[in-house]
Structure 1
Amino acid sequence: MRLGITGHRGLSAEVERTVRDALDAELRKYDPTELIGVSCLADGPDTWFAEAVLDSGGRIEVVVPAEQYREGLPGSHHAAYDELLARAAEVHHTGMGESTSQAHMTGSEILVGLVDRLVAVWDGQPARGYGGTADVVDYARRTGVPVDVVWPEGATRD
């Protein structure tokens, strides 16, 4: 089973705990020996998902949206990004250089094309910018990829 991830960044520590629990529960539905998680490794749900897949015994593949993608992530996230990227069974590139909204959406489109299902840590609201979680969910649905929404009851985002 190939599962992809998309989700909101910048979630509070309280929401992070409940989302991590929900992701663990989602992954328990699958045989870890046959599980491949696909992520762009942004800070937040992308990384929590990749860590959970590896912790469960699965493998990860990474989509790198742009050559400059890592530089656009928070500095505090670089070590986790580097570690997970090094553990990837396969790395996919968009071929884009600058880390723009278009590059992020292109990366997400590649991710959706690689998976059987998409897990979305999504509050159900429209994207706040092009390539946001809602855009990725919409793209997956339009291309026939099933989406499992993970959003803890009562959770909010900033």
Structure 2
Amino acid sequence: MRRIGITGHSNLSETTAPLIADALHRVLAVLPDGPLVGVTCLARGADQLFARAVLDLGGSLEVVLPAHDYRDRKVKPDNAADFDELLGRAAVVDTLPFPESGREAYMAAGERVLAKVEAMIAVWDGGPSGGHGGTADVVEAARERGLPVTLVWPVGATRE
């Protein structure tokens, strides 16, 4: 079984999303044969593009929600249908015990993802995190654990 996690930017530009989706499909498609499990916090942007790629390739999803209020507080109305659809397709949903979403919950969710996987994909422009628990922090934590991290940031990719 291949258990792959994702960390990445949620604020991808409209023109970047298809570039990232294509790159994720390519990265996942060359993994060794065997069941594929994608572990994600299901944030908009990189996480949801990863989730779709995993499902497209016949894999299953495990979702780690950072807090009990995550959907109500952090999922924007224009992303709710996509979030709900992907959450409904998850084989496992692990909601952390935080009552409210915030930086501590996000880092804990990143750590939980790292604990469940054998490798990570980072959709990351190489910049610092915008706050504790951001992409750069999760990449650093993965590297400290000795997990392989595949960076995905195609030429021409931008953030909003």
Question: TM-score normalised by the shorter chain: which range applies?
Answer: over 0.9
Quote the Cα distance in structure 2 between the aligned partners of 1:78 and 1:155. 24
Name the counterpart of 1:97.
99
Amino acid of the structure 1 residue aligned with 2:56? D
TM-score using structure 2 length: 0.94
Quick one: distance in 2 between partners of 1:133 and 1:151?
13
Which structure has the highest strand share of the two? 2
Q: Tell me, in whole angstroms, the C-alpha distance in 2 between the residues paired with 1:57 and 1:31.
A: 14
Q: What is the deviation of 1:33? A: 4.9
Q: Is the 8 A contact 1:33 1:57 kept in 2?
A: no
Root-mean-square deviation (CA), in Å?
Answer: 1.2
Aligned-pair CA distance for 1:155: 2.1
Structure 2 CA distance, aligned partners of 1:129 and 1:145?
22
Task: Name 1:112's counterpart in structure 2.
Answer: 114
Q: TM-score, normalised by structure 1?
A: 0.95
Q: Which runs of 5+ in 2 are unaligned?
A: none
- 1:48-127 equivalences under 5 Å are 48-71=49-72, 72-127=74-129
1:78 to partner: Cα distance? 1.3
Among 131, 134, 137, the residue aligned to 1:132: 134
Query: Is contact 1:32–1:57 with CA below 8 Å preserved after alignment?
Result: no
Contact 1:32 1:56 in 2 (8 A): no
For 2:155, the equivalent position in structure 1 comes to 153
Letter in 2 for 1:73: V
SS at match of 2:19: helix
Q: Which runs of 4+ in 1 moved over 6 A?
A: none
For the 8 Å contact 2:16–2:156, the answer to whether it is kept is: no
How many residue pairs match? The answer is 158
2:75–2:83: 8 Å Cα contact kept in structure 1?
no
2:43 maps to a residue whose letter is A
